[in-house]
A and B are shown apart, each in its own frame.
Chain A
Amino acid sequence: MACDDPTIFFFENLPAGAEYALTISGPSGEFSAAPDFTEGNTRIVVPLPTPPGTVTLPPAPGRAHGVSIVILFATSSTVKVEARCHGQSFCREVSAAAGEQVALIHALRMATN
Chain B
Amino acid sequence: MLTKKAAVILVGGMMWICVPATARAQGICEPIETVMACLARIRVVLGAEPDRTAAATAAKNTQLTTGKKTETGLDQLAGLGSSVKDFVPLLQTTGLLGAVNKDDKTGIVTIALNAPFLGSTGTDESKDKSLQLKATVDTTAELFEPLKKLIPDANREAVAKQLIDAKPDAQNLTLHASYNILSRRLGRNFSLHQDTLDALFAEALGAVAGPRAAFTQRVLDLANAVSVDFTTTLWNEIAAADRAKIEDGILAIVRAEKEFDAILSREMRAAGLDVYGQLVNNQPQFALTVTRGFRDDLFGPDLVTGRVSFEMGVDNTLNKALGRYNGTCDTAAAACLKAYSAFTSKPSTRSAIKAGNRLSVFGEFVHNLDYHYTSAPHALDLTIAKATGWSAGLQYGRLVGVDDAGTASGRFDASIQWEDPAQDDADSRFVASLTVTKKLGDLSIPFGIVYANKEKFLTGVDHGLSANVGLKFNLFPGTK
In the assembled complex, B58 has its CB within 8 A of some CB on chain A: yes
Chain A residue at smallest Cβ distance from B66: A76
Q: Which 7 A-B pairs have the closest CB atoms?
A: A29-B190, A99-B274, A95-B56, A64-B223, A28-B191, A6-B40, A29-B191
Interface residues of B in 213-231 (CB under 8 A from A): 213, 215-217, 219-220, 222-224, 227, 229-231
Question: Which residues of the partner chain A approach B59 to less than 8 Å between Cβ atoms?
Answer: 76-78, 95-97
B-side residues, CB < 8 A to A, are 35-37, 39-40, 43, 49, 52, 55-56, 58-60, 62-63, 125-126, 189-194, 197-198, 200-202, 205, 212-213, 215-217, 219-220, 222-224, 227, 229-232, 253, 257, 260-261, 264-265, 268-269, 273-278, 280
In the assembled complex, A74 has its CB within 8 A of some CB on chain B: yes
In the assembled complex, A68 has its CB within 8 A of some CB on chain B: yes
- Residue among B39, B197, B216, B232 making CB contact with A29, cutoff 8 Å: B197
Interface residues of A in 67-104 (CB under 8 A from B): 68, 70, 72-78, 93-101, 103
Would A74 and B43 be within 8 Å (CB), given that A95-B52, A103-B215, A107-B220 are in contact? no
In contact, B261 and A30 (Cβ under 8 angstroms): no
Contact count A vs B, C-beta below 8 Å = 143
In the assembled complex, A34 has its CB within 8 A of some CB on chain B: yes
Question: Which residues of the partner chain B approach A66 to less than 8 Å between Cβ atoms?
Answer: 216-217, 219-220, 223
Chain A residue at smallest Cβ distance from B202: A34
**How many residues on A have C-beta within 8 angstroms of the other chain's C-beta atoms?**
45
Question: Beyond the given A12-B231, A99-B277, could you list 5 further A-B residue pairs with CB under 8 A, ordered by the A residue number?
Answer: A31-B197, A66-B216, A94-B52, A99-B269, A109-B230
In the assembled complex, A23 has its CB within 8 A of some CB on chain B: no
Question: Which residues of the partner chain A approach B63 to less than 8 Å between Cβ atoms?
Answer: 76
In contact, A8 and B40 (Cβ under 8 angstroms): yes
In contact, B223 and A6 (Cβ under 8 angstroms): no
In contact, B52 and A70 (Cβ under 8 angstroms): no
In the assembly, what is the distance between CA of A12 and CA of B49, in Å?
Answer: 23
In contact, A95 and B190 (Cβ under 8 angstroms): no
In contact, A103 and B197 (Cβ under 8 angstroms): no
Chain A residue at smallest Cβ distance from B205: A34
In the assembly, what is the distance between CA of A3 and CA of B204, in Å?
Answer: 29
Question: Which residues of the partner chain A approach B274 to less than 8 Å between Cβ atoms?
Answer: 98-100
Say how far B299's CB is from chain A's closest CB, in angstroms.
41
Say how far A34's CB is from chain B's closest CB, in angstroms.
6
In contact, B36 and A103 (Cβ under 8 angstroms): no
In contact, A68 and B212 (Cβ under 8 angstroms): yes
Say how far B204's CB is from chain A's closest CB, in angstroms.
8
In contact, A75 and B190 (Cβ under 8 angstroms): yes
Chain A residue at smallest Cβ distance from B265: A101
Between-chain CB contacts (< 8 Å), 14 pairs: A6-B40, A8-B219, A8-B253, A12-B230, A13-B229, A27-B125, A29-B192, A32-B194, A32-B198, A38-B213, A68-B213, A72-B197, A96-B55, A101-B268
